[in-house]
Amino acid sequence: MHVRLSTLAACLVSAAALLPAPARAFPEPLWTTPWRVDDAAWTSGSTLERAADGDLYVALDISRAGSNRIALSRLSAQGVLAWTREHGGTNVLGGGAVLLPDATAALIGERGGVGIFAQAFDVQGLSAWEHSQPDGRLDLGAKAVGVRVAAVGTQGDLLVRARDGTDIVVLRFAAGSGLPLPAWRWVSGLPLVRVMSIASLADGGAVVAAHGPGTMSGFLTVRFAPDGTVRHADLETGDIGNPLGNASVFATADDAVIVVASPETQLGSPGAMAWKVAREGTRLWTRRLSNQASTAETFSAGPSILAADGDLLVAAQRAGQAMRLLRVDGTSGATRWDRSSSTIGDVTSLAEAPNGRVLAVGFAFVMGGGGRTTAKFAEFQSDGRPCREGEVSSLSYFNAAVAGDEGWTVLGSGGEGANQGARLQRYDADGTCTTDAVFADGFDPD
């Protein structure tokens, strides 16, 4: 009996050594800036952009007198609020903000009866221009998971992805003046399409990710040449042709594009996939990132980014699970590593720091909180090992994160009480990680 107990104890010790060690907690932020729009019923952060000089631009969704409105705030690299400018329209849906090469920032939105508009502000907060495009809709249900509504072309034009009926459209606003340019259009011939994401291409064109109407359709990748003609339209159906959720598209250094999305599997669950399409339309690789033969092991693709070296970083999304991150080789499509933190949460945004660390931000439901959520984040080292993690219980969620030499800047919203508004927080990106190896739901790198 004693031998058996000793053996059992040894096994328990050995098993305990394999359990995920808790990551080191994030220290207190270096600074915190909360703000809100005056007289608004509520203010919520939407997107976050970092300028080359470190200044920060935050697009806001607000509500006043029962009407949806949008605004743009500029903050210094040290988190000092410089100004907030509200767009004059009412019943507006916001598509976020994009930084333009002439040091202006464009706020993008959709207003019923007017169509899609963009308004540019200079660094002092003065309106530089505002123009509308009457055709198209933004399909703004996609913006919540990190896909992009707009991009900047090689000539400085603002490119906005849109849907006009069942056509996939790229709306264009001229560099400097913002004057509308002829739109690029692909006639889908489908009964329904939804536009998801856009990226500009080095040749002066653009690529748009979209999906069809459901079963027997799939995810579409439409590549436009600089003159607006369509080079090719790629289709990924997955197992049964039913697209679930959104798609993100990225332009690569070798003039190809990478798409990340989640087609439905034969088991009726989302299955994360990624694929790479060459300039002429040839598939370079196609990867199933999750085990689509098992509902217990598959997952959907959350927010994704391209790393500085061209690899693909994908958040694995599964309700009630730990924040998990995959790194996929951008050349071959092979998974370099697959790691989980020890913090539970859904990821809303990813950022990569100059030192190679990656930050995942998002939220988690509070147990017994009646649907209340709390902001969560987890940091990974460049080799995928979890580093630090944290929770900000005074916020409902983190919307976005950006990185620079100064560290992580994280945008959050919500919280208890009336009109808590938006909040920016700065954290260092090179603090000490835990010394314990953490290999939850992943494996040690080679």
**Predicted confidence (pLDDT) per residue in 373-393, tens digit:** 999 999 999 999 999 999 999
> What is the C-alpha separation between 355 and 80, in angstroms, rounded?
25
Distance CA(329)–CA(307), nearest Å, equals 10
* Domain ranges within the chain, ordered by starting residue: 42-134, 141-298
CA distances (Å), origin 34, targets 63, 114, 297: 17, 33, 39
pLDDT for res 26: 92
How does pLDDT run across 329-368, given as a tens digit for each residue?
A: 999 999 999 999 999 999 999 999 999 999 999 999 998 8
Amino acid at 290: S
**Position 172, amino acid:** R
**Contact indicator for 330, 323 with CB cutoff of 8 Å:** no
Give the integer Cα–Cα distance in Å for 252 and 201: 9
Compute CA distances 297 → 246, 267, 327, 385, 442, whole Å. Answer: 20, 12, 18, 21, 12
pLDDT surpassing 50 at residue 10: no
pLDDT tens sequence across 147-184: 899 999 999 999 999 999 999 999 999 999 999 999 99
| Best CATH choice for the domain 141-298 from the list 2.120.10.30, 2.30.30.100, 3.30.450.20, 3.40.50.11540 | 2.120.10.30
- Spatial neighbors of 295 by CB under 8 A, at least 6 apart, are 267, 268, 269
The pLDDT of 232-238, averaged and rounded, is 95
The model's pTM is 0.91
Lookup: tokens for 217: 């359709």
In DSSP terms, 221 is beta-bridged to 209, 234
**Average confidence (pLDDT) over 231-251:** 93
Distance CA 363, CA 395 (A): 9
Helix/strand/coil for 194: strand
Q: What's the pLDDT score for residue 204?
A: 97
